[in-house]
Chain A
């Protein structure tokens, strides 16, 4: 995903060699793994939301306007618990802060996408990012339209899944006690994935320990904001200690760039996180 590739694909797009039909087909095939994931995770979200008394219209509204997987699971909880707007905003910042880095990585590739650009930026989820940051596209595929159709298809899967989930949750009367655990399971899974991707476990451990301590000190209603402040403080405290490790991670990611970046959509997020630090570093130097 270095400079050469983006120059090459820029050239291909400028010469207008892409044809719409093969671009749509190529985007569809690339999106298939995301389709499976989004339909299932979206359905889980819809079922959860419905269990809290919000029908499929709410699910659709959220998937159209927010379109961020983990955050929508958290949003179910914020909604049902009647969170304050400030608490919701803070939570959103923390859960979604990683998206800053997807944007930084895509600055150049999205720079010439014209009318598609606002939507491409809006729809840059973990999974879409893992697909658009892979550089190699066939000659007959138009880069800009590929980005656009891929983003659009992915969001359609997500919306479809959430509506299906909410509708199914309403139609089937099964004992849904315990279904909230889907959200816990999602985060446990991501936690395990992240744990295996890094040797530096201090941030993960700090996140757990600080939150547990705040939960015990402040109670279930008001522990979240102290936890966030505590985590931020701890990260700044660790900054000197963690930086060398980060450079090692970045160097490692750089080495991995030479291999094909077709990470599965699941691990794309972490791979992206460490990979794009690198890219931005390069971008900054060039400028």
Chain B
């Protein structure tokens, strides 16, 4: 845990920006939305989710002690399980438990 004041400021910024985005259409865009904004809203979610997956895996290293094998296995397992069953909660739960077993017991 980092110092509480900075934590509180971070939460305030995240909450403020989130609310701003939610309120913005009601404050600004009711007279029509710029095409660029529409376009970005269409394509960004896909790109950002890709970015977030990589962001989650930012600390792995192929030359490290486990050679990123647990991460590769767990990501693959989660993705395959989800493609198969399409059950969000099951995929997250099983993927996480699988990863925990890998890092605690196997590697």
Query: Chain A residues in contact with chain B, CB under 8 A?
Result: 36-37, 40-41, 44, 52-54, 58, 61-62, 65-68, 70-71, 74-75, 77-80, 82-83, 85, 88-89, 92-104, 107, 110, 117, 121-122, 124, 175-194, 196, 198, 200-201, 203-208, 210-212, 215, 220, 223-224, 227-228, 231-232, 234-235, 238-239, 242-243, 246, 249, 266, 270, 273-274, 277, 280, 284, 287
Contact = CB atoms under 8 A, between A and B. Distances in A.
B10 interface: yes
B68 interface: no
Contact of A242 (B38, B43, B93, B104): B43
A266 B88 contact: yes
A91 to B, nearest CB: 8
Interface string B11-39: 11111011101111110011111000111
Contacts of B103: 177-178
Instruction: Identify the 8 closest CB pairs spanning chains A and B, nearest first.
Output: A207-B50, A103-B25, A53-B1, A207-B47, A178-B100, A185-B95, A203-B46, A208-B50
B41 A101 contact: yes
A208 B53 contact: yes
B33 A122 contact: no
Contacts of A228: 51
A191 B51 CA distance: 10
Contacts of A196: 83
B1 A54 contact: yes
Interface string B85-100: 0101101110110011
A173 B58 CA distance: 27
* Main SS at interface, chain A: helix
Contact of A78 (B10, B29, B83): B10
Given A231-B47, A273-B42, A181 B18 contact: no
Interface residues of B, number: 69
A151 to B, nearest CB: 12
Contact of B41 (A79, A97, A186, A270): A97
Given A68-B18, A182-B92, A235 B56 contact: no
A191 B49 contact: yes
Contacts of B88: 37, 189, 193, 266
Nearest to A238: B43
B49 A78 contact: no
A100 B17 CA distance: 12
A122 B79 contact: no
B69 interface: no
B33 A211 contact: no
Contact of A189 (B9, B30, B40, B82): B82
B44 A187 contact: no
